[in-house]
Amino acid sequence: MDSAPGSEAVYLRSSVQTAVKLLVVGHFAVGKTTFVGSMSEIRPLHTEEVMTQAGALVDDLAGTKDKTTTTVAMDFGRLTLSESLVLYLFGAPGQERFTQLWQDMTRGALGALVLADTRRLEQSFGVMGLLEEHGLPYAVAINHFDEAPVYDEAEIREALDLLPETPLVTCDARDYTSSATALISLVEYLQTRISEPHSLEHV
Ligand SMILES: Nc1nc2c(ncn2[C@@H]2O[C@H](COP(=O)(O)OP(=O)(O)OP(=O)(O)O)[C@@H](O)[C@H]2O)c(=O)[nH]1
Ligand SMILES: [Mg+2]
């Protein structure tokens, strides 16, 4: 893979035939910007702004003591997965006030990776609901934070009410290999869905 950290893959390879748009979604402070930053082979686009007291009234800051900025629009990155396949990653904020933005972000997207935090699993329902409304298939990646509880896969599936076929993985959004594994689980899932005739309407 050409996209290893440190490689200067600025230009798209001429062999690329398929570009796939994927969303990286999740609630406030779950690690979306970190994930897109770890994965992108180009300098990622971030729209970070310093958090203000006003935001503290609507965003749950528990467990985010070192966090000083928040994404106010989106994150964007690119990852060449093979000779012929390139992924465009769009990090979409999960807060309700960004619902309008989702109308544009979901256009043309094939699927989404939902980042979740075991300290606040219930906060993932909002984005999973939005994805279902938009008919977008998704995989779930538990982004592991040091102080977060560790649960069995079955417990997490039950807590998030996941379908048996929905991929569930654990990752560390700061780590390239771990994040790539999570993304590949989503891509493989989308590939199985594309080969199923009844799900073609979603892609
Ligand atoms: N321990 C640990 N910390 C992480 C991980 N991923 C992200 N962080 C930290 O968690 C904080 C929030 O990460 P962000 O990437 O800003 O989260 P976000 O989802 O983009 O946040 P918003 O855009 O504000 O909703 C940052 O301080 C990261 O360094 C992880 O896998 N493990
Ligand atoms: Mg962000």
Four-point Cα dihedral 160, 135, 24, 173, nearest 10? 30
**The predicted structure's pLDDT at residue 139:** 98
> Atom 31 of ligand 1 has which residue's CA nearest to it?
172
| CA 196–ligand 2 middle distance (angstroms) | 34
Give Cα 156 to chain centroid, integer Å: 18
| CA 6–ligand 1 middle distance (angstroms) | 21
**The predicted structure's pLDDT at residue 49:** 78
**The predicted structure's pLDDT at residue 177:** 96
Q: State the closest ligand 1 atom to the C-alpha of 94, by its place in the atom list counted from 1.
A: 25
Mutate to test the pocket of ligand 1, among 24, 28, 33 (most ligand atoms within 8 A of CB): 33
> Atom 24 of ligand 1 has which residue's CA nearest to it?
70
Measured CA to CA, the distance from residue 139 to residue 192 in angstroms comes to 13
The model scores a pTM over 0.85: yes
Bridge-based pairing of strands 69-71 and 138-143 is unpaired
Question: Is there an atom of ligand 1 within 6 Å of 172 CB?
Answer: yes
Q: Which residues of 26-53 are buried (b: 16+ CB within 10 A; e: fewer)?
A: bbbbbbbbbbbbbbbbbebebeeeebee
**The predicted structure's pLDDT at residue 2:** 44
**The predicted structure's pLDDT at residue 203:** 39
pLDDT tens track of the chain, all 203 residues?
444 444 556 788 888 888 999 999 999 999 999 999 999 998 888 877 777 765 665 666 666 667 788 877 789 999 998 888 899 999 988 777 778 888 888 999 999 999 999 999 999 999 999 999 999 999 999 999 999 999 999 999 999 999 999 999 999 999 999 999 999 999 999 999 877 654 444 43
Q: State the closest ligand 1 atom to the C-alpha of 51, by its place in the atom list counted from 1.
A: 24
